[in-house]
Structure 1
Amino acid sequence: MNTPQRPDGATAPAWWRAFLPARTPINARERLRTVVGGLLGIALTALLSHLASRVFGGAAVWLVAPMGASAVLVFAAPASPMAQPWAVVAGNTVSALVGIAVLLLTAGLGLPELTAGLAVAGAIAAMLALRCLHPPGGASALLMALNGISNPLFAFYPVLLNSVLLVAAGIAYNHATRRPYPHSQQTLPKPAEAGLDADLDAVLAHYNQVLDISRDDLKALLAETSLRSYQRQLAELRCSDVMSRTLITVEFGTPLQEAWSLLREKRIKALPVVDNFQRLVGIVTLADFMRAAELDDFEGMDSKLRQLLRPTPGPNSSKPEVVGQIMTRKVRVASEQRHLAELLPLFGSTGHHHIPIIGAGERLVGIITQSDLVTALSRAGQGAG
């Protein structure tokens, strides 16, 4: 049986789930901060506006209902572009003026439904034109139209005064509770981020919808999300995921000339030394050859190295002849199930260039070099981006 689909292609259960509210991703402390802010903001605005009514001849209306909606934005979403001071003050005031103008223009028609629709539509158009889109502004325009308020002064008192006082309370309270307000809506892009900014602008232009988040806040959230994704992917990587499995090894008795040729031909810097059971017994590096040849300076380097590598005829020798005589015996190793992130300090601060990886039975199963590490970090970064 096929699941019925909506016209937009979504299945019916998925379409109905769209009506379910999402969880508000804030903790109890932030909820309390928001509630107290709304209380103080409206109470202060109401008190001062009520006192100001004496200046305006004891006006009967000293606080308008849209301020409640404005308070939600100012104190619960202070980072929203629709909650910024210009949006609150201009959005409410201009919308009130539009509502009054529409009421006067349609007064003789006797069509309150049309008046209401035109008031809200006009308010939206005006707010978009003046870059002060503020949802409560639509309520301000509708308030004028439905209550027959035709005096333009009403847009200044109480609407304008209410808005200014609420914004002032928002600035003080958000600052006191460490929330930036006004919240910067425009920042200059850094030269290194020019490409990212262009991509973000292109995506926003294609999306072509009003977002209740500033462009720069969206950019910051995307960057933080990418960083956390990178950290998560890096934390999940294990040595077995990135190690080189094709191993070039030598044994204790491998002649120095043979080991040196392997280093040169394979263009590697280290050779693990293993026993007959593939267990690690040491490692030989370029540094070990230099130390054995006593290459403390560049004088006579070629001759000293050739002398070290040249086999000594006969059973007796006064110099090292095989790998086991010059190898480093104390080797830092890691298990194949160890997290890669745990090895970062070894490469970064202790000067390690390669770490052998051991598996079951202490057998050598791989090696991680600086190149392997860089490749793994690059892939994790690409996956996060």
Structure 2
Amino acid sequence: MRRKWSLIEDFISWLKTFLPAQLHVDYTERLRACGGIAGGLLLTGLSTRLMLGPVEHIPMLIGPIGASAVLLFGVPASPLAQPWSIIGGNLISALIGVTCVHFFGVSLLSAAIASAAAVAAMFFMRCLHPPGGAVALTAVLGGPVIHELGYQFPVFPVLINSLLLMLFALAYNNVTGRRYPHASHPDHSGKHGTRDARPIDRLGFKSSDLDEVLQQYNQVLDVSRDDLEALFQQTEMHAYRRRFGEISCGDVMSRDVVTAEFGTTLEEAWGLLRQHRIKALPVTDRARRVIGIVTLVDFMKHANLDVYEKFDEKLRQLIRRARDMHSNKPEVVGQIMTKPVRTAIEDMHIVELVPLLSDQGLHHIPIVDHEHRLTGMLTQSDLIAALYRGRLGDTDSALSGTVST
């Protein structure tokens, strides 16, 4: 009897493996995707009719375009939903389907060959698009209306439908806050073109580690490589936050910040940098909102200090006030400052600044409140000191646990 119940429980557990995992997508995103699909298909169909006119024997929309719409609006970051995937995948599949009908006739065998050949061609052309298999199938089993179109079918309606839907997705996704197309960035080498890994890679796994794992996995993933790497890096940052505790930018930033305004003269700004032995001045407006930042690098660029001849004289010429009212030489901070400037909210965790201060090469980050008013400044040195203190605290906790044991 026990064995019987055990078999039943095992069978129920096996059935549970077929249940889908919970989707971590809120209702706003679901509504956004459904609205895009509805609008995209409607506009694609209407635009196709306007282009072709009242042609009864040519369908305005084909079934596989509905599947393409799910990808373009539901998962726009997927490699399977990118412009070349939908245009190339659907067009190549339609051509293969029509060719199979021409050589093998209309049959289940011809349909199977068409879909398999379409997938092989999409792999080869790097435009894998799942609805392409359905397009090839439609070309073979779509009925007399489709067969009469012959090689017109890949153009009207397949190419026209695909192109119009992709253009609408391009506009809709970007307007609703979803970057599209989601281009990949295959160059994961060091920032300066050297063999050293990027600074962000030195925190944990390297990009090459991910490449090796993906190669061993040897399956198509419905997520781009860059998105996968970003998810792993964010997971690592959450782990760091748990380890170091809630250390915010406001806890470690410098609060007594020396600032400049747009109209501050270069001579005065240079004097502030020298007097306070700092390398950057946030530039604020009258409401203390950050409008830019001026650094030693900005002075060097505008003084043409990349040529070392008469180094000090060029710098003096830059910061010296011009006597001529119509001088082309920059006179105030607002003319040489860097803008827009990257800022951080004061309650942001310091771990979130690691990519900014390492991989993006920033050295100073103005810290602002939720009204975007300047409240402090955080440098690479501040970040290193905070992480060092957090690491010491983690080590002390581990040692005290060992002693108590």
Fold equivalence (TM over 0.5): yes
* 2:20 aligned partner, one-letter code: P
Contact 1:53–1:59, Cα closer than 8 Å, also in 2: no
2 CA distance for matches of 1:74 and 1:370? Answer: 44
Q: Which residue of 2 aligns with 1:330?
A: none
Query: What's the offset of the Cα at 1:18?
Result: 2.2
- Does the aligned pair in 2 maintain the 1:234–1:377 contact within 8 Å? no
Note if 1:372 corresponds to 2:392: yes
Aligned to 1:37: 36
TM-score by length of 2: 0.55
C-alpha distance in structure 2 between counterparts of 1:88 and 1:154, whole Å: 16
Of 80, 98, 101, the match for 1:100: 98
**C-alpha offsets along residues 138-177 of structure 1, whole Å, 9 cap, x if unaligned?**
1100001102544111101110010000000000001101
Distance 2:26 2:390 in 1: 42
Q: Give the drift of 1:13.
A: 4.2
Alignment pair present for 1:231 and 2:241 = yes
The answer to whether 1:128 aligns with 2:128 is: no
Aligned residues: 247
Is structure 2 residue 17 aligned with structure 1 residue 18?
yes
In structure 2, what is the Cα distance between the partners aligned to 1:204 and 1:127? 20
User: What are the equivalent positions in structure 2 for 1:190-269 lying under 5 Å apart?
Assistant: 190-191=189-190, 192-193=197-198, 196-235=206-245
Matches within 5 A, 1:343-358: none
- Corresponding residue for 2:142? 147
Indicate whether 1:75 and 2:57 are aligned: no
SS at match of 1:61: coil
1:171 aligns with 2:181: no
Q: Residues 4 and 77 from structure 1, CA distance in 2 versus in 1: closer, same or farther, beyond 3 angstroms?
A: same
User: Does the C-alpha gap of structure 1 residues 106 and 164 become closer, same or farther in structure 2, counting only changes over 3 Å?
Assistant: same
Return closer, same or farther for 1:139/1:378 CA change in 2, 3 Å cut-off. Answer: farther
**How far apart are the structure 1 equivalents of 2:126 and 2:390?**
52
Counterpart position of 1:250: none
For 1:185, the equivalent position in structure 2 comes to 184
Native 8 Å contact 2:68 2:81 kept in 1: yes
Contact 2:244 2:391 in 1 (8 A): no
Q: Counterpart of 1:123 in structure 2: which amino acid?
A: A
Q: For residues 86-117 of structure 1, what are the alpha-carbon distances to aligned partners after superposition, in whole Å with 9 as ceiling and x for unaligned?
A: 0011111110111111111112xx7x121111
Q: Distance in 1 between matches of 2:177 and 2:397?
A: 36
* CA offset digits 1:181-240 (Å, max 9, x no partner): 00012342142347712111110111101100111110001111111122124339xxxx
What one-letter code is carried by the residue in structure 2 that aligns with 1:166? L
Q: Residue type matched to 1:117 in 2?
A: A
Q: Which has the larger Rg?
A: 1
What is the CA-CA distance between 1:24 and the residue it aligns to? Answer: 1.7
Using the alignment, how far apart are the partners of 1:212 and 1:97 within structure 2? 25
Q: Which runs of 5+ in 1 are unaligned?
A: 6-10, 237-340, 342-347, 354-367, 380-385
Q: How far apart, in 1, do the equivalents of 2:108 and 2:391 lie?
A: 72
Preserved CA contact (<8 Å) 1:89 1:160:
yes
Which residue in the other structure is 1:344 paired with?
none
Q: Whole-Å Cα distance in 1 between the matches of residues 176 and 391 of structure 2?
A: 47
**How far apart, CA to CA, are the structure 2 residues paired with 1:113 and 1:202?**
40
Maintained 8 Å contact 2:58/2:156: no
Rounded Cα–Cα distance in structure 1 between residues aligned with 2:126 and 2:241? 38
Q: 1:231 to 1:377 in 2, by over 3 A?
A: farther
- Tell me the distance in 2 between the aligned counterparts of 1:19 and 1:371: 43
Q: CA RMSD in A?
A: 3.4
Distance 1:50 1:78 in 2: 26
Counterpart residue number, 2:113: 118
After superposition, the C-alpha distances for 1:287-306 in whole angstroms (9 at most, x for unaligned) are xxxxxxxxxxxxxxxxxxxx
Of residues 36, 60, 64, the one that matches 1:62 is 60
